[in-house]
Chain A
Amino acid sequence: MWLQLIFLSLMSLVSITYLVGQTPDSSRVKITHEIDVNFLFSYYQQDGNHSAVTGGMGSEKLEDLASILVVNVPLDSSRTLTVSGGLTYYSSASNDNIDFRVSSASKKEFRGDLDLTLSKYNAATGTTRKYQFGASLDVDYLSTSLGYGWTKLWPSPNRQLSFNGKFYFDSWVWLIYPEELRGTERAQVPTNKRLTYNLSIDYSWTINKRLQAAIIAEPTYQHGLLSTPFHRVFLADSLGTFLETLPQDRFKLPLALRLHYFAGDFIVMRFYYRFFVDSWGIKAHTVNLEVPFKFGPTFTVFPFYRYHTQSAANYFAPFQTHRFGERYYTSDFDLSDLHSHRYGLGVRFTPLKGIARFKWSKRKLTEFKGFELRYANYQREDGLDAWNISVNTSFVIR
């Protein structure tokens, strides 16, 4: 399976490289700039003992193998098309427990997504407009999105303001209930749709020659089926299995600050803080610090640490704690009172003039631009442990 995925990803890379390489001959679009190609490969693994599928107790073992290809194609001097495609293969032990009768070590599924963004820069006004369309498909879940963005850049003093609005229309293609509830009156949800309205406001500015900052607000409103139809809840009253039930509305407000400081000639401090509050009663604080050390102009090592703390949602209670008669139930520990730590190390190699040049067509030269490897370990205080390794390689086509 892994080999298939790697092969598919490489074939996609070759195909897109070949296609964009043909563009000057096959269309009237005139390419005047370099084409950037980024290929991200990532493996994630987690394990814990608080699966929401089995009511807050049970295996959370999950493996996730993702490959994402992002291609930036300048169409002319002002317009750029960004195509992003991803394929994810995952194997989930908890999802296998939706149905106890058909048991295996874990359930294996695929998810695919595609995102297209057209950007148009207006040099006279210093503004960029973005139009976006995206779609992703799980085995049982379809998500489509439309977006519009506006960015203005002021050169003196250096400031930038962005607004990005996005609308997601999601639906469960099949509503899969826990097997013991199928055909009973407890296996009911009000809708299979989920709508998300998202607005991101980002203001960034240069403070001095070594320091720049950004503040970000991203209010988000969701409406529809916000629970998961195969999440179980077991009550203290021992009345059997119930479905997770959550409100059909949720308003989320994250506010973030980012500060990047170049200290000396070889060290950068990348600081990030986020405050989050939502209408379900969660308040959270997240701090992230990353310190890249530069060993010459081409090689960088960056250790990082992230701490997150949050209060529980009003509707959360652990395994066999909810009482019959409550309006909403969930035993999903993602919504619990928790602290988490993530730490890791990354390395980046960016040769000054590029290496490993090769040609896919007579007129186009592809050049290896850079390579980034990153490992992260994640620990949640309820015992969930995870690790992730990612490789990002970038190429440029001239």
Chain B
Amino acid sequence: MRGLPFRSNPVMLRILTILLAITALGACQTVEPYQRVYLNDEDMLLQQRPSAFNEINAANYREGAAGAIGGKSGGGCGCN
């Protein structure tokens, strides 16, 4: 057990577990176009809402973490 690379890093271990679980979920079923009534709903879009743009922008500046959420993740001084 001493050789496990993530044994000393529980955060990384958790992230790896989540990613593995998601990968397992990736064994997905084919959904035909006529079965996409729920998936095509506007709230199912895999992206942030346009109305959240300024909130994301503010969070990018008020917190040290940014990115992987859509919108700008570079550019601008963020100095106010």
Contacts and interface: CB of A to CB of B under 8 A. Distances in A.
Interface residues of B, number: 46
B23 to A, nearest CB: 9
Nearest to A292: B43
A42 B56 CA distance: 12
B4 interface: no
Contact of A212 (B44, B69, B73): B44
B49 interface: yes
A217 interface: yes
Contacts of B1: none
Interface in B27-80: 28-31, 35-36, 38-39, 41-46, 49-55, 58-59, 61-69, 73-77, 79-80
Given A209-B39, A256-B68, A268-B41, A141 B79 contact: yes
A284 B52 contact: no
Interface string A303-316: 00000101001000
A40 B43 contact: no
Contact of B19 (A215, A222, A346): A215
A212 B35 CA distance: 13
Interface of B: 11, 15, 18-19, 22, 25-26, 28-31, 35-36, 38-39, 41-46, 49-55, 58-59, 61-69, 73-77, 79-80
User: Which 7 A-B pairs rank lowest in CB-CB distance, beginning with the nearest?
Assistant: A196-B74, A276-B65, A284-B65, A254-B68, A256-B68, A42-B54, A262-B38
A64 B57 CA distance: 11
12 contacts: A40-B51, A157-B30, A196-B74, A214-B46, A262-B41, A262-B44, A308-B63, A310-B63, A376-B55, A378-B55, A384-B62, A388-B58
A278 to B, nearest CB: 7
A275 B55 contact: no
Contacts of A300: 43
A96 to B, nearest CB: 10
A4 interface: no
Interface string A266-285: 00101011111010101110
